[in-house]
C-alpha cells in the first residue's frame, strides 16, 4: 500500500468515532493494575489495531491525561487525569462538605465510611475513610460504581428518589440486579418501602460473605436523594445491639 493511502487510512481510522475510542482507552487503563498496560495488551482489550491504539495514547499523553513509565514502557492514567476526575466528582462540594463528618464518624465507630452519589442508574463511590477491618464492597475504591439497588448505599439513594423516577430506575436496573441474585421486582419494592419507613438501609444480603452495613440517604432541599453515607463493617460488629447506635450516629453526621 502506498504511503499516502496508508496515512489516509490511518487518519480515517482514528478520526471516525475517535471520541468513543479515546474513552475506551481511558476506561481500559482505569481498570488495569497499578503498573499500567502495554500497548499490545491494551489494543487487544479494546479491540483496536496496535498502531491506532498507540496514536490514541499519544494524543492522550499530549493532553496530559496519560503517561508512560520510562522503564517498563507501560501506559497509565496520569495524576492530571485524577485531579480532573476529582474536581468533576466534587459537584456541589459534596465530598468536601462530607469529608470531616466521614473522618469523625469512622474514628468514633471504628468502621469504614463510604460516600456514594447518584449517577444516572448507578451509584458511584466519591470518597471513603478506611476503618481497621478489611472490608469488601460492591463499589470498591473511589470511582467504583454499582447499579442503584445493589448494596445499602445505593438502595438508600434509590428509596428516596421521587416515585416516578424511582420506578424508571427499578425497571431499567432489574435485569442488572439479577446478576447479583438479589431481587425480583416484588422483593426490591418491598425493600425500598422498608428503607423509606425506617429512614435507612441496613440489610445484610449475604452476597458479600461476612460483610454488613448501614446507609442513610443525603437529601436535597426537595427531599430527593442525591447521595448516601454508608458504614461498612464485618457482620459480627453490626448485631441488633449495635445497629441503633450506628444508625443514630450516621443520621446525625449526614446533616
Q: What pLDDT, on the 0 to 100 scale, is given for residue 8? A: 45
- pLDDT for 82-97, tens place per residue? 666 655 555 556 777 7
Residue 63 DSSP class: T
- pLDDT for 207-229, tens place per residue? 566 777 889 998 888 888 888 98
- What's the average model confidence in pLDDT over 192-210? 77
Residue of 53, 30, 58 whose CA lies nearest to 41: 53
pLDDT surpassing 80 at residue 105: yes
At residue 34 the predicted structure's pLDDT band, cuts being 50, 70 and 90, is low
More confident residue, 236 or 37: 37
C-alpha 122/C-alpha 116 separation (Å) is 10
pLDDT surpassing 50 at residue 3: no
Q: What pLDDT, on the 0 to 100 scale, is given for residue 182? A: 61
Contact status, residue 49 vs residue 37, Cβ threshold 8 Å = no
Q: What pLDDT, on the 0 to 100 scale, is given for residue 92? A: 58
More confident residue, 83 or 2: 83
Report DSSP letters for 202-253, one per residue. Answer: ----SSSTTEEEEEEEEE-TTS-EEEEEEEEEEGGGS-TTTHHHHHHHHHHH
Contact status, residue 116 vs residue 227, Cβ threshold 8 Å = yes
- Cell numbers 508512560 correspond to 68
More confident residue, 136 or 32: 32
State the cell numbers at 225. Answer: 436523594
- Cell numbers 448501614 correspond to 214
Contact status, residue 155 vs residue 183, Cβ threshold 8 Å = no
- What's the average model confidence in pLDDT over 4-17? 45
At residue 6 the predicted structure's pLDDT band, cuts being 50, 70 and 90, is very low
Residue of 182, 76, 193, 192 whose CA lies nearest to 138: 182
- pLDDT for 115-135, tens place per residue? 888 888 998 888 888 877 766
State the cell numbers at 105. Answer: 464518624
pLDDT surpassing 50 at residue 39: yes
At residue 109 the predicted structure's pLDDT band, cuts being 50, 70 and 90, is confident
Q: What pLDDT, on the 0 to 100 scale, is given for residue 110? A: 83
CA 211 to chain centre: 18
Residue of 162, 160, 183 whose CA lies nearest to 173: 183
pTM over 0.75: no
pLDDT surpassing 50 at residue 50: yes
The domains located in the chain, with CATH, are 3-84 (1.10.10.10), 92-253 (3.30.450.40)
At residue 231 the predicted structure's pLDDT band, cuts being 50, 70 and 90, is confident
C-alpha 127/C-alpha 27 separation (Å) is 19
CA pseudo-torsion sign 61, 64, 66, 70: positive
Q: What is the mean pLDDT of the chain?
A: 79
Residue 90 in 3-state DSSP? coil
Residue count (the chain): 255
Amino acid at each position: 500500500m502506498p504511503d499516502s493511502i496508508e496515512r489516509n487510512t490511518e487518519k480515517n481510522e482514528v478520526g471516525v468515532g475517535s471520541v468513543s475510542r479515546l474513552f475506551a482507552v481511558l476506561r481500559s487503563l482505569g481498570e488495569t493494575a497499578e503498573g499500567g498496560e502495554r500497548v499490545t495488551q491494551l489494543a487487544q482489550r479494546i479491540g483496536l489495531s496496535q498502531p491506532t491504539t498507540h496514536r490514541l495514547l499519544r494524543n492522550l499523553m499530549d493532553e496530559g491525561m496519560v503517561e508512560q513509565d520510562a522503564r517498563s514502557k507501560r501506559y497509565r492514567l496520569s495524576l492530571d487525569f485524577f485531579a480532573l476526575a476529582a474536581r468533576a466528582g466534587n459537584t456541589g462540594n459534596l465530598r468536601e462538605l462530607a469529608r470531616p463528618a466521614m473522618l469523625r464518624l469512622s474514628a468514633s465507630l471504628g468502621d469504614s465510611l463510604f460516600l456514594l452519589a447518584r449517577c444516572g442508574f448507578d451509584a458511584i463511590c466519591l470518597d471513603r475513610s478506611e476503618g481497621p477491618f478489611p472490608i469488601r464492597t460492591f463499589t470498591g475504591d473511589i470511582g467504583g460504581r454499582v447499579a442503584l439497588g445493589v448494596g445499602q448505599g445505593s438502595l438508600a439513594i434509590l428509596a428516596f428518589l421521587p416515585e416516578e423516577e424511582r420506578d424508571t430506575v427499578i425497571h431499567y436496573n432489574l435485569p442488572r440486579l439479577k446478576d447479583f441474585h438479589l431481587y425480583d421486582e416484588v422483593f426490591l419494592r418491598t425493600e425500598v418501602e422498608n428503607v423509606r419507613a425506617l429512614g435507612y438501609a441496613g440489610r445484610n444480603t449475604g452476597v458479600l460473605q461476612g460483610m454488613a452495613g448501614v446507609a442513610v440517604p443525603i437529601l436535597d432541599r426537595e427531599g430527593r436523594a442525591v447521595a448516601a453515607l454508608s458504614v461498612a463493617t464485618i457482620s459480627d460488629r453490626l448485631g441488633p445491639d449495635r445497629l441503633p447506635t450506628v444508625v443514630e450516629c450516621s443520621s446525625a453526621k449526614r446533616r
